[in-house]
Chain A
Amino acid sequence: MDREALLNRLTALDFMAVDLGLYLNTHPDDRNAIGEYNKIIEAADLVRVKYEQAYGPLCSFRSLCQNPDKWIWNDNPWPWERSFNFLVSGEGCN
């Protein structure tokens, strides 16, 4: 997967983790939902590591600096900038 595909996948997984977490706040005994939630968290962590190894840190903290010679968080673009991100639209929305 290229950078954008990885980022798209990670964003989607993290979003699901948030939404399933909200669901679990009101359904704390739903074993099926807990299973789904854990699957999503594990999948997201794998994608996050993969992304950061290839393209650098996603956070200014809690992310490994993969390059031992250079702190690359300073390099543009940052995650909140338009050029960093992808457009959420298209077939996946239907």
Chain B
Amino acid sequence: MKELFEDYSNQMDVRNSSVGTNKNNNMCNAEKAYCNGNNDMTAGTMNTSKSMNNADYMTQSNSIMIDQMTDGSNMEYMSDTSVNGVMLKPAKEYSMGISDSCNECVIQKVGLAQAYVPYQATFNVMNPERSLCNGTAFQELISPYKKGTGLGKK
């Protein structure tokens, strides 16, 4: 299992320092801002550290995931001090580069979310052909997802 991860980590090193960094800069600003507000936050602490660049930040956050998956003792990392202990490991030790460190950060800080769908207060049906094309019978529910955009009302 561990060998498999290490093989993969070698392949991913390049992405980790280029594509991964861009992703980190461009797509996670809100999460980073939130996490940076608390120095106990693992990712936030790493991000504000002048001694590490973004690639280090990515790989070290990823190392938490690998540790959790390989040694199977997730509970060890539940407290802040244990998380910080893990983060002191050398960045390259278990670099992987595919996990989303912003996601890790949000999970640790906010926790897993619960979905909330507001009650539909209107009933404006479209004609059947238009409904089929749009995937909904309701004009107000037309909300196609476009990659790279938010899900808020246009």
- Where the two chains meet, the residues of A that have a C-beta atom closer than 8 Å to any C-beta of B are 8-9, 11-13, 15-16, 19-20, 23, 26-27, 30, 32-33, 36, 40, 88-90, 92-93
Query: Are B130's CB and A93's CB within 8 A?
Result: yes
Within 8 A of A (CB), among B73-112: none
Query: Are B137's CB and A16's CB within 8 A?
Result: yes
| Known interface pairs A19-B136, A23-B120; 9 further A-B residue pairs with C-beta atoms within 8 A, sorted by A's residue number | A15-B137, A16-B125, A16-B128, A16-B132, A20-B125, A20-B137, A88-B132, A93-B130, A93-B133
Compute how far the CA of A12 lies from the CA of B125 in the bound complex, rounded to whole angstroms.
13
- Give A57 Cβ to nearest chain B Cβ, in Å: 22
Residues of chain B within 8 A of A40, CB atoms compared: 128
Q: Is B34 part of the contact surface with A, judged by Cβ < 8 Å? A: no
A40 closest partner in B (C-beta)? B128
Interface of A is mostly: helix
- Give A81 Cβ to nearest chain B Cβ, in Å: 19
Compute how far the CA of A19 lies from the CA of B130 in the bound complex, rounded to whole angstroms.
13
- Where the two chains meet, the residues of B that have a C-beta atom closer than 8 Å to any C-beta of A are 119-120, 123, 125, 127-134, 136-138
- Give B25 Cβ to nearest chain A Cβ, in Å: 36
Residues of chain B within 8 A of A36, CB atoms compared: 123, 125
Query: Are A33's CB and B123's CB within 8 A?
Result: yes
Compute how far the CA of A36 lies from the CA of B136 in the bound complex, rounded to whole angstroms.
15
Query: Are B120's CB and A26's CB within 8 A?
Result: yes
Query: Are A92's CB and B123's CB within 8 A?
Result: no
Residues of chain B within 8 A of A8, CB atoms compared: 129
Query: Are A12's CB and B132's CB within 8 A?
Result: yes
List of 3 A-B pairs having minimum Cβ-Cβ separation, nearest first: A93-B133, A12-B128, A19-B137
Residues of chain A within 8 A of B123, CB atoms compared: 23, 27, 30, 32-33, 36
Query: Are A27's CB and B120's CB within 8 A?
Result: yes
Enumerate 11 A-B pairs (CB-CB under 8 Å) in ascending A order. A12-B127, A12-B132, A15-B128, A19-B131, A19-B137, A19-B138, A23-B138, A26-B120, A27-B123, A36-B123, A88-B133
Query: Are B137's CB and A93's CB within 8 A?
Result: no
